[in-house]
């Protein structure tokens, strides 16, 4: 079934090529297509394009379809072009001519746009929750291991003392800033495109603010041409937010892979969380974090992938926009899986508490010894030279302890302040507002 089909049949080869993998990803949009139709038909009844009794019939069937989707009993049948066609076909089969009225005042262009925005908005909520879970885990680990020293590096050379508390806390604070990127995407996405039609509006007296309110959108994409221009832009903005989180997570995964190695030995995981070698009996490989690193690197390329798909397109809808789903939807799942897996793995992490006692790390404390001399009144350059000569002559024997007290240092991690920043970042999203709207729209 094709909503646009008349008498001429499209060649089978052309149909296969143009549909591509669209149905594979359209099923993810199913609940949101129903939500958009519920809001749209509510509005159509309000402006007199549907009788109240017709609206009630349509809503009853749409809510049945919604329940079927939630329970996994819904599918897009063979020969049906897309999710929009499947929902309309079911309504027409069950309600006859009444079902055919559902599409008045909209195009598949604004229909898929609203589906995508509702889908992405919900995915942002899930990503945000998983990010919060990982943040909480990192803060707990930072607090637990705040006094355990580890080497800090510059140029991959042993540099100055750090601590596991400092290391875990750094990634926790990074996630706070990442959520600001995600929130920027959320602000772009949480606007209603419904009613923009094919990108040029409608001669029907549509109430677009009403559908925005029913769907819990913060506002409208007012200009109907710009609403259509938002296809690709909304997805790219989400990709930027995802890439920020992916960059933090990928970097952390790289640290884990490095620090698990025998040459470092900073940390380890239980055997059941690592993998082995087919030839080397001793191997305990960090496959989870290697795959996480790879997935997150791929996520960081996502904004560019989407930008290149849409970079040379003039204003209006173009079919290649459907290809965005093929890169965006799997990337969303990869990010959610990686956040969830990182939290799971960190629950079992084992830290080497005696790491810093090794002889090779004594030079970490050269700056500490220099600073001690400065505090005794020795000019910094003279103190630096004095310690440097002791190292060169083999007479450097430091006290392996640190006394850092300023904000954000080893002895003052400011975890409460970082938690406060995360609370502020999370509060921006106000997910409860649209959750309430969706509940009202779908309740019996």
Q: Which of 28, 37, 75, 277 is catalytic?
A: 277
Tell me the C-alpha distance between 312 and 276, whole Å: 47
Q: What is the enclosing helix (H) or strand (E) of 192?
A: strand 191-192
The beta-strand segments (E) located in 225-324 are 267-268
* Radius of gyration over every alpha carbon of the chain, rounded to an integer in angstroms: 28
Calpha distance 396→417 (Å, rounded): 38
Tokens 């076909």 appear where?
A: 89
Say whether 146 sits in a helix, a strand or coil. Answer: coil
Q: Which residue has the tokens 């800090």?
A: 152
- Burial string for 395-406 (b: 16+ CB within 10 Å, else e) reads ebebeeebeeee
* H helix intervals, 261-396: 287-300, 302-310, 324-346, 366-375, 380-392
202 among known catalytic residues:
no
Q: Is 344 exposed, middle or buried (0-12, 13-18, 19+ CB in 10 A)?
A: middle
With residue 158 as reference, give the H or E element that holds it.
Answer: strand 157-163
Q: Are the CB atoms for 317 and 114 separated by under 8 Å?
A: no
Output the six-digit token pair for 166. 């400092």
Token pair of 173 as six digits: 């604070």
Rounded distance between C-alpha atoms, residue 50 and residue 335, angstroms: 42
- What is the separation of C-alpha 308 from the centre of its chain, rounded to a whole number of angstroms? 20
> Alpha-carbon distance 400 to 64, whole Å?
68
Distance CA 443, CA 59 (A): 10
Contact assessment for residue 173 and residue 421, using Cβ atoms and an 8 Å cutoff: yes
| Rounded CA separation 282/173 (Å) | 36
Render 185-243 in DSSP notation, one character per residue: HHHHHSEE-TT-TTTT--SS---HHHHHHHTT-SEE--SHHHHHHHHHHHHHHHHHHHH
Element (H, E) at 406: none
- Reduce the DSSP state of residue 307 to 3 states and report it: helix
Candidates 71, 155, 282, 393; catalytic one: 155
Cβ contact 150:162 at 8 Å: yes
| Active-site residue flag, 282 | no
Catalytically active residues are 155, 277
């Amino acid at each position: 079934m094709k909503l646009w089909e008349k008498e001429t049949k499209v060649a089978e080869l052309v149909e296969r090529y143009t549909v591509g993998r669209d149905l594979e990803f359209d099923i993810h949009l199913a609940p949101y297509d129903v939500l958009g139709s519920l809001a749209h038909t509510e509005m159509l009844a309000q402006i007199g394009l549907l009788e109240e009794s017709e609206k009630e019939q349509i809503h009853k069937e749409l809510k049945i379809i919604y329940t079927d989707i939630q329970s996994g009993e819904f599918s897009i049948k063979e020969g049906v072009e897309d999710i929009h066609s499947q929902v309309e076909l079911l309504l027409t089969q069950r309600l006859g001519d009444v079902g055919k009225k559902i599409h008045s005042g909209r195009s598949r262009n604004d229909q898929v746009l609203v589906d995508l925005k509702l889908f992405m908005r919900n995915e942002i909520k899930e990503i945000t929750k998983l990010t919060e879970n990982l943040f909480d885990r990192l803060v707990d680990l930072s607090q637990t291991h705040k006094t355990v020293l580890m080497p800090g590096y510059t140029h991959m050379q042993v540099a100055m003392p750090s601590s596991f508390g400092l290391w875990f806390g750094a990634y926790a604070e990074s996630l706070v800033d990442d959520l600001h990127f995600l929130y920027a995407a959320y602000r772009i996405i949480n606007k209603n495109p419904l009613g923009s039609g094919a990108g040029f509006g409608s001669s029907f007296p549509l109430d677009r603010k009403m559908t925005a309110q029913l769907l819990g959108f913060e506002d409208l994409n007012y200009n109907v041409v710009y609403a259509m221009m938002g296809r690709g832009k909304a997805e790219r903005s989400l990709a930027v937010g995802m890439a920020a989180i992916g960059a933090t997570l990928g970097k952390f995964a790289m640290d884990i892979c490095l620090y698990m190695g025998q040459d470092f030995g900073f940390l380890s995981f239980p055997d059941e969380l690592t993998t082995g070698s087919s030839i080397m009996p001793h191997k305990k490989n960090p496959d989870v974090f290697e795959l996480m690193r790879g997935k997150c690197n791929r996520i960081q390329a996502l904004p560019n992938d989407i930008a290149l798909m849409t970079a040379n397109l003039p204003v209006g809808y173009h079919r290649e926009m459907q290809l965005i789903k093929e890169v965006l939807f799997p990337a969303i799942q990869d990010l959610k899986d990686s956040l969830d897996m990182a939290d799971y793995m960190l629950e079992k992490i084992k830290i080497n508490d005696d790491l810093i006692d090794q002889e090779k790390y004594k030079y970490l404390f050269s700056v500490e010894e220099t600073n001690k001399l400065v505090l005794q009144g020795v000019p910094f350059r003279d103190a630096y030279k004095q310690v440097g000569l002791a190292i060169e002559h083999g007479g450097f024997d430091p006290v392996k302890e640190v006394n850092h007290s300023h904000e954000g240092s080893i002895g003052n991690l400011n975890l409460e302040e970082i938690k406060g920043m995360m609370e502020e970042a999370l509060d921006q999203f106000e997910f409860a507002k649209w959750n309430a709207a969706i509940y009202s729209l779908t309740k019996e």
